[in-house]
A and B are shown apart, each in its own frame.
Chain A
Amino acid sequence: MDTAQRDKYWKRNLRLMAILLTIWALVSYGAGIIFVEQLNKIQIMEIPLGFWFAQQGAIITFLILIAIYVWRMDKLDAEFGITEYEDEVRHS
């Protein structure tokens, strides 16, 4: 990769992280804590929604966020011609 390509790669990586981490914060701190009482007025399958986010929804969202990250990074690497990963670094 030359310098221009590196810049492009890093910017796209940072943008992806910024989007995913925003969702991460909104779901856990937002839905699970700050807005929990408002969301609790809605019930889904007999569980108050805010309570559900705090106990299960946030965890499920985290899992999806990492899955999207892993998938998008694979695509990004492939776009920049990286397909070979094994043995790229030895340990000291």
Chain B
Amino acid sequence: MSSVQLWTLVFVVLSFGLYIYIAYASRVNTTAGFYVAGGGIPAPANGAAIAADWMSAASFISMAGIIALSGNGYGASVYLMGWTGGYVLLAMLLAPYLRKFGKYTVPDFVGDRYSESARLIAVVCAIVVSFVYVAGQMSGVGVVFQRFLGVDTTVGVIIGMVIVFLYAVLGGMKGITWTQVAQYSVLIVAYLIPAVAISQKLTGIPVPQIGFGQIMDELNGLQADLGFAEYTAAFTSTNMLNMLLITAALMFGTAGLPHVIVRFYTAKSVRAARFSALWALFFISLLYLTAPAIGAFSKLNILRQLPGTEEASAPAWYQSWKEVGLIEFTDKNGDGLINFTAATDAANELLINNDIVVLATPEIAGLPAPIVGLVAAGGLAAALSTASGLLLVISSSVANDVYYKRINPQATEARQLLVGRIAMGGAIVVAGYLGINPPGFVAQVVALAFGLGAASFFPILVLGIFWKKCTAAGATAGMIAGLGTTLAYQLWTIDIYGGSDGLFGINETAFGTIGMLINFAVTITVSQFTTKPTEAMQQLVEDIRYPGRSELVAAHAAGELDDDLLHGEHRDGEHS
């Protein structure tokens, strides 16, 4: 066993032990504890949990690599702005009001505010979006185990499943929340330490967010010499229209994703929900402001070390990642030298997978073995924390919104908890299967998930709060229209299905924004012509806008209001 493997094992065992201990210490026996941690999480902890929940294996492992390797540096700004800008929307438009509404899940809000058929559509969206994400997280776990511990991917995924099972099934949302606080700490330390060390080494400035300016000139120069577009140049790989639409889709998608929104139900109060959004973005920005620096540093090191080098004398990190197939080299001109130019250039001989950049950064920069091991533990923390949050969305959608609200409203607390735990167990098995046999198009399906979030949930959540007269029929029609057009466009344009260029060259990742606008238009139009919500519902929506206690909101949250009063006498699908 190499020293890198030994250190990885040490950090992985220590961090996994910590997660399970925390889950044991915060185990729950109520549905409120299982779904929303009893609603008593203080804002800084909730913010850290949101950050860990939100920053997945994609943020931790892939993002710096996408910035460094996808054409030039500027193009990947859509992820940096898109995935953080959504928090401004969440903090101002959704978080405080949803917290005051006081429910367990996003479908719960939709079902309560609108109708039972809207609830079912929301359940389907939440489950699809969550499974799509979970597949990516689980395969991320597999990659880390395979590369750093030499364990078979399948065994790695199974270890991950067992760990998540232990702490998620035992502790529910409460266990997950406190575990995620620990996971956030592990992942941010693992991300920042190598970044600081590399920045110090390359620029003499130990603050990577500032140091990275020092290397821009050299990086732009090296890129230009090798035939890449300049690192900082705009619109070389993506045009302005797509940059705008993709950024918007990621922002509104973030604000519409069920596993992030559900986090605001766990806050102590409306004020704590607002503060949670602030803390969340603060914790996220520690990583998101560092990622562009890591991307640039790695690109510089790669460009200094590889092009024009003989393959046999390439550095050790090159050899070890090539062994696992994440670096590919084809000596097209047979001169034995690595010829590295833009990927679109026919003479390019080198393909580097985006996912190796963060994991390989410490090795590329020649940092010691313990740091490499720490980064591996950080990658696992990022993947497992997001996976557990998503699995909770799935299990609460099934147990609360389908089983309790639709199938057996008389179920006891203990029975609901049992169903929640069984649903969680089932979801983990499916997630593990998807992780071991990932659908070949994970990257595209993730884009699809954001499109779905933006096009289905965002408009009806915002209108549900800000427009008292938004009707159930309007919201249902809006969700179907937004979701349907987005799904159709994506299937039509994604390479492996339609492969079409689409309309005006709009990218499949970008269409979520259009779908969202369609949803808004349809919801508003249909609402003009359909039965208005009852007086009680309009009063309730108005009440959640103001601070302080309202009898109506409290009675509603406690489930004491008569359904006929809220929804009128002919509510669809009720009492069936």
Contacts and interface: CB of A to CB of B under 8 A. Distances in A.
Q: Answer whether A and B are interacting partners.
A: yes
Interface of A: 1, 6, 9-10, 13, 17, 20-21, 24, 28-29, 32-34, 36-37, 40, 45-48, 50-51, 54-56, 58-60, 62-63, 65-67, 69-70, 73-74, 77, 80-82, 84-92
A37 B559 CA distance: 55
Contacts of B265: 91
A91 to B, nearest CB: 5
Nearest to B43: A70
Contact of A33 (B233, B247, B289, B549): B247
Contacts of A55: 67, 73-74, 77, 80, 292
Q: Is the interface of B mostly helix, strand, loop or mixed?
A: helix
Interface residue tally on B, bucketed by range: 35 or more
B33 to A, nearest CB: 10
A88 B548 CA distance: 7
B104 A91 contact: yes
Interface string B276-297: 0110011001001100100000
Nearest to A29: B244
Contacts of B93: 17
Contact of A20 (B74, B92, B248, B546): B92
Contacts of B549: 88
A70 to B, nearest CB: 5
Given A46-B214, A89-B99, A90-B554, A6 B85 contact: no
Nearest to A74: B271
A82 B277 contact: no
A85 B34 CA distance: 23
B386 interface: no
B88 A20 contact: yes
Given A21-B88, A82-B548, A92 B553 contact: no
B240 interface: yes
Given A67-B278, A90-B39, A90-B554, 19 more contacts: A10-B546, A24-B85, A33-B243, A40-B232, A46-B214, A48-B232, A50-B234, A56-B80, A56-B292, A58-B85, A66-B88, A69-B274, A73-B96, A81-B548, A85-B269, A85-B270, A86-B269, A88-B270, A89-B99
A85 B559 contact: no
A90 B234 contact: no
B289 A59 contact: yes
B289 A60 contact: yes
B103 A92 contact: yes
B81 interface: yes
A28 B247 contact: yes
Interface in B58-114: 67, 73-74, 77, 80-81, 84-85, 87-89, 91-93, 96, 99-100, 102-104
B574 interface: no
Nearest to B72: A51
19 contacts: A32-B81, A33-B243, A33-B244, A37-B234, A40-B233, A45-B210, A50-B234, A54-B81, A56-B209, A59-B289, A63-B282, A80-B547, A85-B270, A85-B272, A85-B547, A89-B99, A91-B38, A92-B557, A92-B558
A3 to B, nearest CB: 10
Nearest to B272: A85
B268 interface: yes
Nearest to A86: B269
A32 B77 contact: yes
B77 A90 contact: no
B545 interface: yes
A88 to B, nearest CB: 5
A34 B240 contact: yes
A58 B545 CA distance: 29
Nearest to A20: B92
B217 interface: yes
B498 interface: no
Contacts of A88: 100, 269-270, 547-549, 554
A69 B232 contact: no
A53 to B, nearest CB: 9
A45 B247 CA distance: 26
Nearest to A33: B243
Contacts of A20: 88, 92
Contacts of A33: 240, 243-244, 247
Nearest to A16: B92
Nearest to A84: B548
Interface in B191-214: 209-210, 212-214
